[in-house]
Amino acid sequence: MKRWLRLLLFFLPALSLAQQPVPAPAASLPAQASIEFSFDWPQGIPWQSYSITTDSEGKTHFSGIPHPDESNDTDSVQQDFTMSEANRQKIFELAQKLDYFQRDYDSHLKHVAFTGKKTLQYKSPQLSGSTSYNYTQNADVDELTRIFLAIATTIDFGRKLAFQYRFDKLGMSQRLTELDEMYTGHRAEELSIIAPILRKIANDPNMMNISQQTARRLLHNINQPVSAAQTPGSQ
C-alpha cells in the first residue's frame, strides 16, 4: 500500500501538468488599413501624376512624376515619411464618415473646368472602396483633397528649395516667401518632410539673412528644431 502511495505521489505532478491546457498561439495582427489619394493630369503643374498612400500608423509613401515644363525633369520622385498624428486621424475619420469611398462623390456638373482626375481609395481586411472625381461639392471629400494636394505641394517645394540651395541662392528668399504664404493659407501641409533643407538654409551663413529668418520661422511653426544638433538621435 505504501509503495502504491509513493508511486502515486511521484506521478501526480506530471499528470497535473499534462492536464493543463496548451496555450493557443498568439493571433497575428490583421493587415493594416490604408488610404491612397492619386492625381492624374498630363497638363498638371507641378505634378503630372502622383499618389500618396498612408496606413493606419501614419507610414506614408509619395510617388510622383513632375511636369517637364517645371524643370525639364520627368524622373519619378519617391518620398517616405510619417504623417502627423493630426492629419492621420483626420484622414481616417473622414474616410469613415464618407463610407470608405464606396459612393460617387463627383458633382457631375456641366461646364466645370477639368483640373485632373482624383481618386480616393480605402483598403483593409474587412472592406475596400474607391471613388474618382474631377470636382466635388462634398465638403469632406474637398477637405481630404486639400490635405493631399497640400502634401504634394510641400514635396514640390522641397525639390525646388534643394535645387536653389545648390544653384540659385539669390532666388531662395522669394521661394521661401511663397512657401510661407502657402503654409499660412493651408495650401502646404506636413512641412516636417522638408525640415532638413529648411534647417540647412536656416544655419548657412552664406544665405541671405531674410532667407534664414523665413526658414527658422517655418521650422518654429512646425515645432522642428533649427539646429541639426537638436534633432532626435543626433550627438
Write out the DSSP string of 37-77. EEEE-TT-SSEEEEEEEEETT-EEEEEEEE-HHHHS----E
Q: What is the rounded average pLDDT of the residues 121-131?
A: 96
Best CA proximity match to 56, nearest among 25, 86, 92 = 92
**Section 31-56 average pLDDT:** 95
Q: What pLDDT is attached to residue 229?
A: 60
The residue written with cell numbers 493659407 in the block is 185
Write down the pLDDT at residue 193.
Answer: 98
The ranges assigned to domains in the chain are 34-226
**pLDDT at 113 (0 to 100):** 96
- Looking from the CA of 135 toward its CB, the CA atoms found within 13 Å total 9
199: which 3 cell numbers? 534647417
Range from 72-76, 89-93, 117-121, 192-196 carrying the lowest mean pLDDT: 72-76
Q: Which of 95-99, 149-153, 167-171, 224-228 has the lowest mean pLDDT?
A: 224-228
Backbone torsion region of residue 57, taken as left when φ is above 0, otherwise alpha when ψ lies between -120 and 50, otherwise beta? alpha
What is the residue-averaged pLDDT of the chain?
Answer: 87
Q: Is 131 left (phi over 0), alpha (psi -120 to 50) or beta?
A: beta
How far is it, in rounded angstroms, from Cα 58 to Cα 83?
Answer: 5
Share of the chain above pLDDT 70, in %: 82
The CA distance from 7 to 232, in Å, is 64
Question: 74: pLDDT confidence band, cut at 50, 70 and 90?
Answer: confident
Q: Each residue of 142-162: pLDDT tens digit?
A: 999 999 999 999 999 999 999
Q: What is the distance of C-alpha 69 from the center of its chain?
A: 26
Q: Tell me: the pLDDT tens digits for 189-215?
A: 999 999 999 999 999 999 999 999 999
